[in-house]
Every structure is written in structure tokens, then in C-alpha cells.
């Protein structure tokens, strides 16, 4: 990847960063209008409100990302754990002839109405259940029958950057997956080097606050590969990218050993 294209990717990243700052007054105003003015002084609540506002405006995927989402999510089959579906930009990619049940694990309740509307529009109403908690909350997941070996497919689309204690949580997800189960991944990760990694390290001082805990510098592939024994380990940087961009992704699938 040329230095020029690394600079271009940093430019695009800086647009998100600027938008993250610019949306803060709107997020604060939203909290006041909802009758929660004191949440402005609570770092994590302001951070979540800011990301909620920003994602609703800027979260819709580009045509190129839609393609990658479709390539990833359409492989899901059986009982599915859909991690952090947000406002539901991804749910229309499920192949209804292959999935029997989907649990959408979405802790941000402000996203639930849009998510439910997207689920309905995708014709998944009868099989898609929204679970309003974080994926690390194994006690709540158990109440829905989500426990060791119970899930055929896990879908992780731009969410492992935001989960707490990623190494431990991904190891827990490995256990939830049935032997032979599929872990589908489209995630942004730490860049391999170059200008992208320098920009990530600098931006990451404020990025998690602006984006509700999203960590730009997460070695997610290493956590996934290290979670347990896999029969197939096939994660790659999407075509046309080299892993040196400011927002650099990994896409593919893992199959748990039987």
C-alpha cells in the first residue's frame, strides 16, 4: 500500500473523528430533552449518547461495505448469535432459508426500535429475538438458552472493537459455539504498521470516548485465533486493502474444531 493511500485513509478517518467531536453538543442536547441533564457529566452515558447520535447519521454502510457484509452474513445457518446489530443495517443479509433462529445481542436500547423495524422489513420477525444486554452477560444469555455449545453461527460485524475484556469475552463466545460451528467476522482491527498505526495510536486517545468504547487498536484476529482449536482459520484483509489503513478490516470465517 502506498504512502499516498495511507494518507487518504487517515483523511477519511479524520472525518469520523471530526464528526465525533461535532456531534457532542447534539448528544448533550438530546440528553437534556430526554430529561436526563445530569448524564452529560457521566462520561460513559455521554459517550453512549454521542455514538448513538453519530451512528444513526453516519452508520449506514457504503456499497463496498454492504458487499463485504453480504459475503459474510449470508453464510450464517441454524441458530445464530448476532453480536451488536445496532440499528439493524446488517440484518437483511441473513439468508432466511438457512437460519432457524437469530438472537440479536444489543445492549444499547436506544437502537432497539430501529433494529426491530429492520428485522420486520427483512421478514425475520418470527425468528429474530432482540436481547438487550452485552454479550459478556452470560447469566442473561442463559435465560434465552444461549449456553455452551448451543449456537451454530456467531456473526461479529464491527462489534468486537467495543466489547469489554475482549480476550476473555471471545474465549467465552468460543465455548458458546457448537463443535463444527461457524464464526463469521467483519471487524476493524489494529493496523500492521505504517502511518495507519501511528494515526490509530494518536486517535485512540479520544476515539473510545467519542464512539462508546470502540478501540481502534485491538488485535482481534489474535484473540479469535487464540480462543481455542479451529478447523478453519480464514481471516483476511478485504481485497484492495493491505492492513495498513487507519480503519483497516479483517473479514472471513472460522470453523470450530469438532
Contact (CB, 8 A) for 152 and 103: no
Contact region with ligand SAM (CB under 6 A), list: 80-88, 119-127, 173-181, 235-243: 80-88
Q: x/- site string to ligand SAM, residues 106 to 135, per CB under 6 A?
A: xxx--x----------------------xx
Question: Grid coordinates in use for 144?
Answer: 434465552
Beta strands in the chain (DSSP E): 78-83, 99-105, 128-131, 151-157, 177-189, 230-236, 248-256
Residues 13, 20, 84, 243: which binds ligand SAM (CB under 6 A)? 84
Question: Grid coordinates in use for 16?
Answer: 469520523
Residue 159 in contact with ligand SAM, rule: CB under 6 A: yes
54 φ, ψ to 5°? -65, -45
State the Cα–Cα distance between residues 174 and 199, nearest whole angstrom: 32
Residue 89 in contact with ligand SAM, rule: CB under 6 A: yes
Q: x/- site string to ligand SAM, residues 92 to 111, per CB under 6 A?
A: -------------xxxx--x
Long-range contacts of 140-143 (CB under 8 A, 24+ apart): 141/103, 141/105, 141/176
Residue 160 in contact with ligand SAM, rule: CB under 6 A: no
Residues 8, 30, 40, 59: which binds ligand SAM (CB under 6 A)? 59
Q: Which is nearer to ligand SAM, 153 or 162 (CB)?
A: 162
Residue 72 in contact with ligand SAM, rule: CB under 6 A: no
Q: Which is nearer to ligand SAM, 39 or 194 (CB)?
A: 39
Q: Which residue has the cell 461535532?
A: 22
Helical H segments across 127-213, by residue range? 138-143, 166-176, 194-203, 207-210
Residue 249 in contact with ligand SAM, rule: CB under 6 A: no
Nearest to 48 by CA among 70, 30, 71: 30
The count of chain residues that interact with ligand SAM, using the rule CB under 6 A, is: 20
Q: Which is nearer to ligand SAM, 111 or 223 (CB)?
A: 111
For residue 100, the minimal CB distance to ligand SAM (Å) is: 21
Residues forming the site for ligand SAM (CB under 6 A) = 59, 83-86, 89-90, 105-108, 111, 134-136, 157-159, 162-163
Amino acid at each position: 500500500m502506498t504512502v499516498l493511500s495511507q494518507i487518504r485513509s487517515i483523511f477519511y478517518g479524520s472525518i469520523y473523528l471530526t464528526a465525533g467531536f461535532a456531534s457532542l453538543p447534539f448528544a448533550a442536547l438530546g440528553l437534556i430533552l430526554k430529561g436526563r441533564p445530569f448524564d452529560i457529566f457521566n462520561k460513559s452515558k455521554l459517550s453512549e449518547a454521542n455514538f448513538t447520535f453519530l451512528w444513526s447519521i453516519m452508520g449506514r454502510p457504503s456499497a463496498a461495505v454492504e458487499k463485504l457484509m453480504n459475503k459474510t452474513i449470508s453464510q450464517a445457518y441454524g441458530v445464530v448469535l448476532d453480536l451488536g446489530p445496532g440499528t439493524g443495517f446488517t440484518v437483511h443479509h441473513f439468508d432466511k432459508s438457512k437460519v432457524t433462529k437469530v438472537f440479536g445481542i444489543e445492549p444499547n436500547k436506544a437502537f432497539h426500535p430501529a433494529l426491530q423495524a429492520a428485522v420486520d422489513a427483512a421478514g425475520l420477525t418470527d425468528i429474530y429475538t432482540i436481547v438487550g444486554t452485552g454479550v459478556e452477560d452470560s447469566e442473561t444469555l442463559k435465560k434465552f438458552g444461549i449456553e455452551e455449545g448451543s449456537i451454530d453461527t456467531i456473526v461479529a460485524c464491527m462489534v468486537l472493537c467495543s466489547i469489554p475484556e475482549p480476550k476473555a469475552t471471545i474465549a467465552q463466545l468460543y465455548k458458546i459455539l457448537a463443535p463444527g460451528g461457524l464464526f463469521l467476522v467483519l471487524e476493524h482491527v489494529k493496523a500492521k504498521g505504517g502511518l495507519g498505526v501511528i494515526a490509530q495510536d494518536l486517535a485512540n486517545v479520544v476515539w473510545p470516548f467519542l464512539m462508546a468504547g470502540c478501540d481502534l487498536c485491538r488485535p482481534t484476529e489474535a484473540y479469535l485465533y487464540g480462543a481455542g482449536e479451529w478447523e478453519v482459520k480464514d481471516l483476511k484483509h478485504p481485497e484492495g486493502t493491505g492492513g495498513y489503513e487507519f480503519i483497516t478490516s479483517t473479514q472471513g470465517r472460522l470453523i470450530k474444531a469438532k
